[in-house]
């Protein structure tokens, strides 16, 4: 929190008793949906809806005010307009509430009047050292504590990836992409205007959160950009941090200021400084999810040498285009590996060039052959990480068991690129990822996943993944 010492955020993320201000019986209102979100998410603590005119909503007794709630609460979710929110935060501070989430917008992102109102909101919170998520936020999810407080009722798979997002829309985009990718979310924090709890505070908390293994960040801009990048760099030495920075063009700066009240700043400067601090950056929400997925499932490679096994050349070309600028190397195969490949494909004069990427063409359709080639490449001392490309087919099955066995035998990272669609690949995705092997359906995602693993693998070794 700006201008204060460390504050215990555990009651915010793991509340036992929650008050919800502004609960109505109207399904198109934020308060109704936040209460539904909490109930639908399976929260096992106590919930106290508050509204002066309602008696019961969604089967819950509604209290007239916070003073009427029969016991102290840890967290208050405030679903009131921007003016009433300031008064509610003041009442929470007086009552000893340990944290608040403020959904309302209408503060500094709207101009001078809103800016002055936000100063009042911050003053009310900091008077009581009250950590505040928002305002202007979608809310927060803690899957580890079955606590959902967004006004989009959800129930999403749990996992080891936590997301910090300045935007509710990109936050939801990331959540739904993660569901499509078969990856679970641990925590989602919509920081909104970051009025007294910003990116750095959330990173500080997640750094020591045992249930979070990987942190993804979507940022438009930050008033305390220096603290953000320094904190991200420090946390990235302990667990991977992946940052998607938006606002590349000058035209975007005006819009970010009217969205969350923050200037986008120089995109290139953010990228350069984040890289100097060892933080992996991406260019889209889909890359953010792809990188986090690989980092959550796979061990880090011992180096930056990438092997590619395929039976169709195009995806490997696309991968190389993305891997080389990220500091990855496509090394030659050892002669012993080439000899082993010849033995596997059963010909002294194979109709393919035996090199890395290894394009087995039609010889690779066979599951035993493909699995044997994967083993041969993983056994090669020149290969730190293997990308395996295979195409969805009515008859030929993905050599899933063979690839998993090869991965377990050589204990090197393996990423599968299954050329197909999610409808056709879902069963294989579940099977592979339950065994810890990430599966993607696009070579660009596979490449960024590999680059993320190499980036943090090289950082753990004390090296740099690229020269710039």
Per-residue confidence band for 468, with pLDDT thresholds at 50, 70 and 90: very low
In this structure, the strands spanning 280-282 and 358-359 are unpaired
Q: What is the pLDDT of residue 351?
A: 66
Q: What is the pLDDT of residue 157?
A: 97
Structure-model confidence comparison of residues 67 and 465, the more confident one = 67
Q: Give me the chain's average pLDDT, please.
A: 93
Q: What is the pLDDT of residue 222?
A: 84
Q: What is the pLDDT of residue 441?
A: 96
pLDDT at 51 over 70: yes
Per-residue confidence band for 364, with pLDDT thresholds at 50, 70 and 90: confident
Distance, in Å, from the CA atom of 28 to the CA atom of 155, rounded to the nearest integer, reads 19
249-278 pLDDT, tens digit per residue, is 776 666 666 766 667 677 888 899 999 999
Distances (CA, A) of 370 to 83, 345, 365: 64, 9, 7
Q: What is the pLDDT of residue 5?
A: 63
Q: What is the pLDDT of residue 290?
A: 98
Listed in sequence order, the residues at least 6 apart from 150 whose beta carbon sits closer than 8 Å to its beta carbon are: 34, 37, 138, 139, 140, 141, 168, 188, 190
Task: Show the beta-strand stretches assigned E in 253-349.
Answer: 280-282, 306-310
Do the beta carbons of residue 218 and residue 241 sit within 8 Å?
Answer: no
Distance, in Å, from the CA atom of 332 to the CA atom of 232, rounded to the nearest integer, reads 36
Structure-model confidence comparison of residues 439 and 4, the more confident one = 439
pLDDT at 391 over 80: yes
Do the beta carbons of residue 382 and residue 333 sit within 8 Å?
Answer: yes
87-102 pLDDT, tens digit per residue, is 999 999 999 999 999 9
Do the beta carbons of residue 316 and residue 359 sit within 8 Å?
Answer: yes
Distance, in Å, from the CA atom of 290 to the CA atom of 293, rounded to the nearest integer, reads 5
Phi and psi based region of residue 159 (left: phi greater than 0; alpha: psi -120 to 50; beta: remaining): beta
Per-residue confidence band for 347, with pLDDT thresholds at 50, 70 and 90: low
Structure-model confidence comparison of residues 2 and 11, the more confident one = 11
Q: Percent of the chain at pLDDT above 70?
A: 93
278-302 pLDDT, tens digit per residue, is 999 999 999 999 999 999 999 999 9
Q: What is the mean pLDDT of residues 214-241?
A: 95
Task: Show the beta-strand stretches assigned E in 112-207.
Answer: 132-133, 140-142, 147-148, 158-165, 185-190
Do the beta carbons of residue 133 and residue 160 sit within 8 Å?
Answer: no
Q: What is the pLDDT of residue 267?
A: 81
pLDDT at 467 over 50: no
88-142 pLDDT, tens digit per residue, is 999 999 999 999 999 999 998 888 999 999 999 999 999 999 999 999 999 999 9
Residue 76's DSSP bridge partners are: 19, 100
**77: nearest Cα among 109, 41, 116:** 41
pTM of the model: 0.94
Do the beta carbons of residue 178 and residue 287 sit within 8 Å?
Answer: no
Task: Show the beta-strand stretches assigned E in 94-246.
Answer: 99-102, 132-133, 140-142, 147-148, 158-165, 185-190, 214-219, 241-245
408-420 pLDDT, tens digit per residue, is 999 999 999 999 9
Phi and psi based region of residue 265 (left: phi greater than 0; alpha: psi -120 to 50; beta: remaining): left
Q: What is the pLDDT of residue 349?
A: 59
Residue 11's DSSP bridge partners are: none
Residue 417's DSSP bridge partners are: 389, 440
Distances (CA, A) of 272 to 28, 165, 166, 245: 43, 20, 20, 12
Listed in sequence order, the residues at least 6 apart from 312 whose beta carbon sits closer than 8 Å to its beta carbon are: 359, 389, 391, 419
Structure-model confidence comparison of residues 47 and 394, the more confident one = 47
């Amino acid at each position: 929190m700006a201008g204060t010492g460390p504050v215990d955020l555990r009651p915010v993320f793991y509340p036992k008793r929650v008050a919800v201000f502004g609960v109505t019986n109207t399904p198109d209102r934020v308060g109704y949906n936040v209460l539904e979100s909490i109930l639908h998410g399976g929260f096992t603590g106590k919930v106290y809806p508050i509204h002066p005119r309602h008696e019961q909503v969604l089967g819950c007794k509604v209290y007239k005010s916070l003073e009427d709630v029969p016991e102290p609460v840890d967290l208050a979710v405030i679903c009131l307009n921007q003016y009433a929110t300031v008064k509610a935060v003041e009442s929470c501070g007086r009552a000893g509430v340990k944290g608040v989430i403020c959904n309302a917008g209408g503060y500094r992102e709207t101009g001078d009047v809103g800016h002055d109102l936000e100063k009042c909101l911050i003053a009310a919170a900091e008077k009581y050292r009250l950590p505040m998520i928002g305002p202007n936020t979608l809310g927060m999810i803690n899957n580890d504590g079955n606590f959902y407080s967004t006004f989009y009722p959800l129930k999403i798979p749990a996992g080891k990836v936590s997301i910090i997002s300045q935007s509710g829309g990109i936050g939801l985009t990331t959540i739904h992409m993660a569901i499509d990718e078969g990856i679970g979310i641990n925590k989602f924090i919509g920081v909104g205007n970051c009025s007294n709890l910003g990116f750095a505070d959330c990173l500080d908390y997640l750094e020591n959160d045992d249930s979070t293994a990987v942190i993804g960040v979507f940022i438009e801009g930050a008033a305390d950009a220096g603290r953000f990048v320094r904190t991200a760099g420090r946390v990235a030495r302990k667990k991977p941090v992946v940052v998607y920075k938006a606002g590349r063009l000058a035209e975007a700066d005006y819009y970010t200021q009217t969205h969350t009240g923050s200037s986008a700043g120089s995109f290139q400067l953010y990228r350069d400084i984040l890289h100097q601090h060892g933080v992996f950056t991406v260019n889209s929400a889909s890359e953010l999810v792809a990188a986090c997925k690989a980092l959550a499932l796979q061990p880090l490679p011992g180096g930056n040498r990438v092997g590619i096994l395929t039976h169709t050349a195009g995806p490997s070309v696309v991968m190389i285009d993305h891997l080389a600028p990220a500091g990855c190397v496509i090394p030659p195969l050892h002669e012993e590996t080439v000899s082993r490949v010849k033995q596997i494909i059963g010909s002294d004069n194979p109709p393919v060039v035996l090199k890395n990427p290894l394009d087995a063409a039609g010889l690779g359709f066979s599951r035993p052959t493909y699995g044997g080639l994967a083993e041969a490449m993983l056994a090669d001392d020149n290969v730190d990480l293997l990308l395996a490309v295979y195409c969805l087919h009515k008859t030929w099955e993905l050599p899933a068991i063979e690839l998993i066995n090869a991965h377990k035998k050589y204990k090197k990272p393996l990423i599968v690129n299954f050329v197909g669609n999610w409808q056709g690949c879902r069963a294989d995705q579940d099977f592979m990822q339950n065994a810890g092997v990430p599966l993607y359906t696009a070579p660009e995602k596979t490449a960024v996943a590999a680059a993320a693993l190499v980036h943090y693998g090289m950082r753990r070794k004390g090296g740099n993944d690229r020269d710039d």
